Structure 1
C-alpha cells in the first residue's frame, strides 16, 4: 500500500511557544518510538513483561521432556496415547499462532496479551491436577493455544517498544526472545534436577505434575503487575486512528510528552486495517520474498533444533551411557553455556553486524557441526566422545548466534505494524507444523539410521543458507513501520 503523508502546515505562534513534539499522523508516533524512550520510562519494563510471555512459551513446551515416561506409566498409555498427549501442545500452538496473529492486529497487542496469560494459568493448573490422560491432553492443547497466541503479540511488543538504531534497537530486542527461550528451558531442567533430588522415591510420580503446575506461577505474576506497567503499543493505537490515545501511551510508558495537532490528524492517512485478507498480503509484492525467507529460516531452524536439542538427552545418554542425572546435567550445561550465551552475544552485536550476517554465520556453524557428528558416528573412544560433545556445543552456539535469535527478527521486522501480527502468526503456524514433523521424525529416523540421521538434519541449515543467499534482506536498522504510509523497499 502506498499513500502520501499528511501535508505539513506552517507552525503557528502557539506551536513555537510549545516545545513538545507534535503528532500529526501515525508516522509521527512511529518516528518518536524510533528515537528511543526517555530515561526512567516504563518501556524496558514492558519489554521485560513481553519476554516473560516468551519464557512461559518455552517453559511449557519443554516442561514435559522428562515426564513422558511417568505419565505413560501412571495412565497406562500406549505409545500412540503417549504421543498424542505429548504433541497436544504443539497442535494447539499451530492453531493459536494463526488465530493469534489475526487478533493481535485486530483488537490490539494489550488485550490479546492479557487474555493469553489466563490460558497459561488455567491450563497449567489443569495439567497439574489432571485425573486422566484425556484431561491432561486437553489442558496441554489449551496451553498450546496460549503458546501460539503469545508469540505474535510478544514480538509486536518487542518491536514496537524499541528504538530503530543503536544498542538495544528493534532487532536486538526481538532477538532477546532467544536467550529468554533457552533460560526457560534451563529453568525447567533445574526444576527437574531440584525435584529429582528432594522428592522421595515413592513420590517420584509427582514430578511431572509439579513441573507442569509451576508454569502458572510466572503467568500469575505477569497478570498482577500488568495494570502498573503494561500499555497498548503506541504505534498500533496510532495506526487505528487513535492519535490521542497514542500520545497518552507515549507519555505514560515512553516518557515522551507529545501533543496532537487535531486538524492535521483529521486529514492524516489511515494505515491498513486488520482483516483475514492480510494473510494474503504476505504473499504479494515485496512481502512475498521476505515471507519466503522468514519461513525457510523458521522451518529450518525449528527442524534442526528440535531434532538436536529436544533429542539432546537421548543423544548424550547414547554417547556417554550414563545415568539420568548425568544426562540432565549435561543437557543443562550445553544449553546454558552455548545456546544461551550465543543468544546473548547475538543480542549485543546485531546492531553492528546485522541479522543476515549473523544468521549466515550461525547456519555455517550448524552445518559443520552436523556433518562432523555424522562423520564421528557413535563414539568408541574417550577422544571421540569429547569431539562429539564439542560438535553439539558448536551446533547450539550457532543456533544462539544465528537462526535461533533471528528467525524472529526476520518474521517480526519484515512487516510493518499493520501486518506484524499476521506475519509472525503465519510464520509460527508453519514453524509449529514443521516442529511437529521433526519431533515425530527424529526418533523414527534415529532408530532406523543411528548417527547417520545427522546427514538428514544437515539439510536444514543448508536450506537456510540457500534461502539467505537467494534473498539478501536485512531487517535490522530498517524502518519497516514506515511502509504503512509509503512504498516498501525491495
Structure 2
C-alpha cells in the first residue's frame, strides 16, 4: 500500500491493505464516526428493549393473572429469541454483510415494540417479546463488527475502546428507560399506572425508526468485510465515501475470496480450530459469568429494591435510575477510557473481584432494617453495577470480537452471544422464582457467576486489546500455503 502524498490516492492491492489503512487511523472520515454512533444506537435499542419490562412485570402479572412461572416466561422470551437471533444472525453477518443484517434487525425492533405495547394477552406479549429477542440477537454481532471494523487498532478511537463503549451505550439506554418510566409515572393519572409498561415498550420503536430514516445517507458496509469477500473495488468505494480517502485498486491487485464451509455446524467448527479454541472457550465463559450476574441483578433491580429492600414504587424507580445513571454509566465511561492503557484482561478481572465482594456483602446484610442499612445495600448494588460496567460488562465483548479476523467475527460474536444467552434466559426465568423462595439468599447463588469469571481469566491471560487478528490470520494462511 502506498500513500506518496496527501493529494495522491491510496493504492489498494489486498484486503490487508484495507485493514491496515483503517487500523492505522490515517482515514478519519465523518461518516465513519457516524456509522459508529449508529451502531451504538443499535446497542442502545438492545438495552432499552431488554430493560423496558423490568419495572412493569408486576403490573403484567396482575393484568394477565400470571403465576411466577408465567412472569418468568414473559421476561425470558426475549432471551430465547436472542439465542436464535445471535446464532443465525452471526453467520448471516459474515455471509451477507454487516449493512443488510443491521437494517433487518431495525425492522424487527419497530414491529416487535409496537406488538408488545398493544398485546391483548400474555401469549401475544410473549410472541412479540420473542421476535424482539431475534432482533436483539441479530444486532449485537453486527453492531460489534461495525465498532471493530470502523476503528483504528490503537490510540484514541481504537477497537479496544470502541468495543468497550457498548457498555456505556447499554447503561445510558437502561437509564433512559427509567427516565421514560419516571416521566410516564408523573404524566399518567395514578389509575392508569398499570399501563406504564405498554407506553415504555412502545416508545422503543421511535429510535429504531430514526435509524432507518438516516440509514441511506450515512450507513455503509464495512470496507474490511467487502475486501475480505474479494471485492476490493467496493471496499475502495466505501473508503472514499465513509472516510473521504481517494482509494484506488491496483491493476495487479489480487482479490482472494474467503473459504466457505457449507452452512450448518461447520460454520461454528472454525471457532474451535486449534488457534482459536482457547480464546473461544475463554470468551464464552467470561460472557456466561457476566451475563448471568448482570441479568439477575440489573434486570432484577426493581424486584430487589421493591421486595428484598421493601421500597415503594417511586423509590424503586428512583433508585433504579440512580444506580444505572450514576454507577453504571460512570463505570462504562471509565472502562472505555482505560481500555488502551490498562487492557481488557485486568479491567475484567478487577470487575469480577468487586462484583464477588458486593454480592457477598448483600447476602450477609440480608433484608436490611433501617435507612442506613438500606442505603448500604443500595451502595453495594451500585458497586456491583459500577464494576460490571467498567470490567466484564464492557470488555467481554472485546474478548468475543477482537479474537477473530473479519471473515469469522460475525460468527464468533453470534456463537458467543447465542450461547451465553442461555445463561441470561435461565437468570431471567429463575430469578423471580429464586428471589421469592430465597429472599436475600439469592445473592449467594449469583456470586457463583463472578467466581467462574475469575477462574476463566486465571486459566488464560490473553489480552485482545491491540491485537490485529486479520494480520495474524494472513500470516497463518501464508504459512499454510508455503507448506
* 1:116–1:146 contact (8 Å) kept in structure 2: yes
- Return the offset for 1:343: 0.5
* 1:301–1:461 contact (8 Å) kept in structure 2: yes
Q: Which residue number corresponds to residue 271 of structure 1?
A: 258
- Kindly report which structure 2 residues correspond to 1:67-466, keeping only aligned pairs within 5 A, or say none: 67-265=56-254, 268-273=255-260, 275-276=263-264, 277-318=266-307, 320-466=309-455
SS state of the match for residue 487, structure 1?
Answer: helix
Measured against aligned partners, the alpha-carbon deviations of 1:403-459 in whole angstroms (never above 9, x if no partner) come to 010111111111110110010101111111100111223233333333232222111
Counterparts of 2:433 and 2:63 in 1: how far apart (Å)? 25
Task: Return closer, same or farther for 1:375/1:415 CA change in 2, 3 Å cut-off.
Answer: same
Q: Which residue number corresponds to residue 480 of structure 1?
A: 469
* 1:37–1:254 contact (8 Å) kept in structure 2: no
* 1:271–1:484 contact (8 Å) kept in structure 2: no
Counterparts of 2:12 and 2:291 in 1: how far apart (Å)? 41
- Return the offset for 1:318: 4.2
Counterparts of 1:80 and 1:364 in 2: how far apart (Å)? 32
In the alignment of these two chains, the number of paired residues is 476
Task: Out of 442-451 and 308-317, give the one that drifted further.
Answer: 442-451
Q: Which residue number corresponds to residue 63 of structure 1?
A: 52
SS state of the match for residue 285, structure 1?
Answer: coil
* 2:351–2:390 contact (8 Å) kept in structure 1: yes
Q: Which residue number corresponds to residue 3 of structure 1?
A: none
Counterparts of 2:204 and 2:366 in 1: how far apart (Å)? 37
* 2:309–2:374 contact (8 Å) kept in structure 1: yes
Task: Return closer, same or farther for 1:37/1:201 CA change in 2, 3 Å cut-off.
Answer: farther
* 2:73–2:429 contact (8 Å) kept in structure 1: no
SS state of the match for residue 262, structure 1?
Answer: coil
4+ residue runs over 6 A deviation:
14-18
Measured against aligned partners, the alpha-carbon deviations of 1:317-362 in whole angstroms (never above 9, x if no partner) come to 3464331101110111011111111000111111111111111111
Measured against aligned partners, the alpha-carbon deviations of 1:365-424 in whole angstroms (never above 9, x if no partner) come to 111111222222222344433332222121111101100101111111111101100101
Counterparts of 2:366 and 2:295 in 1: how far apart (Å)? 19
* 1:417–1:484 contact (8 Å) kept in structure 2: no
SS state of the match for residue 252, structure 2?
Answer: helix
* 2:75–2:428 contact (8 Å) kept in structure 1: no
Task: Out of 155-164 and 306-315, give the one that drifted further.
Answer: 306-315
Counterparts of 1:165 and 1:404 in 2: how far apart (Å)? 21
Counterparts of 1:117 and 1:317 in 2: how far apart (Å)? 33
* 1:155–1:412 contact (8 Å) kept in structure 2: yes
* 1:279–1:426 contact (8 Å) kept in structure 2: yes
- Return the offset for 1:15: 8.6
TM-score by length of 2: 0.94
SS state of the match for residue 463, structure 2?
Answer: coil
Counterparts of 1:366 and 1:84 in 2: how far apart (Å)? 27
- Return the offset for 1:210: 1.1
Task: Out of 72-81 and 43-52, give the one that drifted further.
Answer: 72-81
Counterparts of 2:324 and 2:409 in 1: how far apart (Å)? 30
Task: Out of 440-449 and 360-369, give the one that drifted further.
Answer: 440-449
- 1:467 maps to 2:456: yes
SS state of the match for residue 259, structure 1?
Answer: strand
- Return the offset for 1:16: 9.7
Task: Return closer, same or farther for 1:136/1:452 CA change in 2, 3 Å cut-off.
Answer: closer
Counterparts of 1:96 and 1:33 in 2: how far apart (Å)? 29
Counterparts of 2:64 and 2:438 in 1: how far apart (Å)? 31
- Gaps of at least 5 residues in structure 2 are none
- Return the offset for 1:152: 0.5
Task: Return closer, same or farther for 1:412/1:330 CA change in 2, 3 Å cut-off.
Answer: same
Counterparts of 1:175 and 1:468 in 2: how far apart (Å)? 17
